[in-house]
Amino acid sequence: MDLDLSPEQKLIKDESVKFLKKECPYSVVKELEESEAGFSAKMWGKMAELGWLGLCFPKEYGGDGGEFLDMVLIAEALGSALCPSPFFSTVVQCGSLILESGSEDQKMDLIPQIANGKLIIGLAQYEEDGSYHVADAHTTAKLFGEDYILNGVKLFVMDANIADKFLVTAKTAKNEITLFLVDARVPEITVTKLPTIGKDNNCEVNLNGVKVSKNNIVGSLGDAEQIIEKMNTKAATAKAAEMLGGCKVCIDMTAAYTKERQQYGKPIGGFQVIQHYLANMLIAYDTNHEYLFRIACKIDAGEDFAIDAYALKANVNEAYKYISERGVQIHGGIGTTREGDIGLYYRKAKANEFLCGDTEFFYDKVFEKLMAGTPG
């Protein structure tokens, strides 16, 4: 397996980092976090012009036909800059769902709009009990004539406050969960932005008698769990890439600080305990980063990668918390303030831990996968 980047991928990596350094410095990140929209429509449009949003979609749907590794490189860059954007919710989660399970009409209609930046979609999956399991959905979808009527409350819907559409999981029968494409702008939907540690666009979505056509079912009746499970393995890998982008900046930022900050007449980087901290931070990053690229290559090669994706996200959850926490500790008091940029990564590490699944959830998935392959 060749883990080296192609010349085109090296260009994607270099240009994405360069673009975000210019367009999304920490001052802009903080400004967007405090805004109601939580993102920059102008910057989103520029990302579309650069081809980021359509990079991994097939050319017949308006994309560039790139590889999953290309998406990983973009996710890394976004994570390193902490760029607030609906890239993960719209492109990685919902775009992948539509591409894998949507009808041909849905693909032809929706994916070109995602690729050109004209459509933002949020996945409305989680509910008040906080379960990651699709089968635990309580939102109902009852059939009346040719339409379904949806009722329920969804929590932690990413970018719902700026979304044009939602993909909603709802119960269509006792043991049947179905995925629906829903217009986010109808009056029967109320969106409330939630205060979160990551200051991101996490929202509550209240569906009160929302009418949805049969034609807006994504996939088939009752197969939402299988659809989302398949998507979630790739999404977890992409989210891990984003988190590792943040890990690398934490290490670089902290290492630079240890050369500048003086104590007892010498840089604190000369103290052995600080050196040990930095070494352990780098080891935690390097091992997971190599694992990430191996998984991305397995995805592009069409190999089975699910158990690796589960293990990676569990490991990165813990690595990002450890690396950012040590970074804050080494920075001292300034690291805990809003003015200290290292603190932005610490908050994001905790928020990202729960996206796609927390550490315990993915450990359980690894165990289930291993046991399923055990004879007898």
Torsion angle of C-alpha atoms 179, 372, 243, 180, degrees rounded to 10 = 0
CB 84 within 8 A of CB 201: yes
Domain 7-120: assigned CATH number: 1.10.540.10
**Angle in degrees, CA 88, 91, 95, rounded to 5:** 130
* E strand or H helix at 256: helix 224-260
Residue 323, both tokens: 């690396």
Distance CA 15, CA 19 (A): 6
What is the structure's pLDDT at 1?
A: 56
Pick the CATH number of 122-221 from 1.20.1630.10, 3.90.1580.10, 2.40.110.10, 3.40.50.40: 2.40.110.10
Distance CA 178, CA 222 (A): 5
DSSP 260: H
What is the structure's pLDDT at 2?
A: 58
The torsion angles phi and psi of 91, rounded to 5 degrees, stand at -85, -55
**Is the fold of 122-221 the same as that of 225-372?**
no
User: E strands within the chain?
Assistant: 121-124, 140-144, 147-158, 165-173, 176-183, 189-193, 202-213, 217-218, 262-263, 266-267
How many helices, marked H, and strands, marked E, lie in the chain? 11, 10
Mean pLDDT, 10 residues at a time, the chain of 376 residues? 79 96 96 95 97 96 95 98 98 97 97 98 94 94 95 97 98 95 97 92 97 96 95 97 98 96 90 96 97 95 95 97 96 86 94 94 92 66
Q: Where are the domains of the chain?
A: 7-120, 122-221, 225-372
What is the structure's pLDDT at 334?
A: 86
What is the structure's pLDDT at 265?
A: 87
Of 182, 208, 184, 193, give the one whose Cα is nearest residue 155: 193
What is the structure's pLDDT at 374?
A: 59
Torsion angle of C-alpha atoms 326, 327, 333, 337, degrees rounded to 10 = -120
CB 306 within 8 A of CB 297: no
CATH superfamily of 225-372: Butyryl-CoA Dehydrogenase, subunit A, domain 3 (1.20.140.10)
